[in-house]
Amino acid sequence: MQPILHQAHDAKYAIPQINVNGLIWIEGILRAAEKKRAPIILGTTDKIIDYLGGYEFICKLIHLKAQSLNITTPYVIHLDHGNSVESCIKAIDAGYDSVMYDGSRLPLEENIENMKKVVNYAHQHHVLVEGEIGGIGGNEDGLVNEVQYADLDECKQLVQQTQLDALAPALGSVHGRYQGEPKLGFKEMTEINEQVAVPLVLHGASGLSDEDLKKAILLGHSKINFNTEINIAWSQYIRQRLNADVTLFNAKEIVAPSIHVIQSTVESIIDKCDAAERV
């Protein structure tokens, strides 16, 4: 994770993180990355781990699927929104390449204390650590937050005192569907990028304009997370498929073609992030 993240930061493009919501997501994501010759991050949020079969199962499953598809582009397995020190450690022990400890709802001192524990353990295992400051709005796997902009001084304290590797400062993006027009804080983004010496991460990118994404990338965002727009495209396809032929009942006939919807949506995201032909 470390070298490809810094390569993206230096070259002013972003690596997309695509959340995994089931087996077919893994295939669609990996096929898109291979076709576009792009590095890719497969994210699993802490809230969905049990549904996916546990940290070790999903990690091994991704590697096995990549092997069966003869994937040659770099891919990263990332724990998104790890809600405890213990869950981050479990992911690291299971073989994850990268973990996010989300202490954004805690007082800064507690966030820093817990982050130090995660960073210390992760770095011993050559695993990258992402942290978050502020409140990214919307709904992420059952977690509902109000938008709360990141404070520059708190960003600096979290990075300097913990030595984390990437920072997700809340700057107006929202998980899930946007209500109205997104309002990213580019002024705050500029200040944080200039004074915090790690790559930035943008959560809740689904629904942002291409122009806003490009601005965010130029202002230090080297990892950008996507989930909602893939889920919307996939669910619309399934709904149309079933409505078009009410006699369908074979699961493979219904689900297998939807992998192409996931793949094509991820390919579009790779292009938005200017990550194609980077490997």
Residues forming the active site: 80
Distance CA 100, CA 87 (A): 10
Contact in structure between 75 and 41 (CB atoms under 8 Å): yes
Kindly give the interhelix angle for 85-94 and 55-68, rounded to the nearest 10 degrees: 40
Q: Positive or negative CA dihedral for 78, 82, 88, 90? A: negative
Alpha helices in 54-170, H assignment, sequence order: 55-68, 85-94, 108-124, 152-162
* Helix, coil or strand: residue 23: helix
Distance CA 222, CA 202 (A): 8
The secondary structure of residue 266, as a DSSP letter, is: H
C-alpha distance across the termini of the chain, in Å: 14
- List Cα–Cα distances, 167 to 38, 150, 152, 248, in angstroms: 22, 11, 12, 46
Contact in structure between 182 and 133 (CB atoms under 8 Å): no
Contact in structure between 168 and 136 (CB atoms under 8 Å): yes
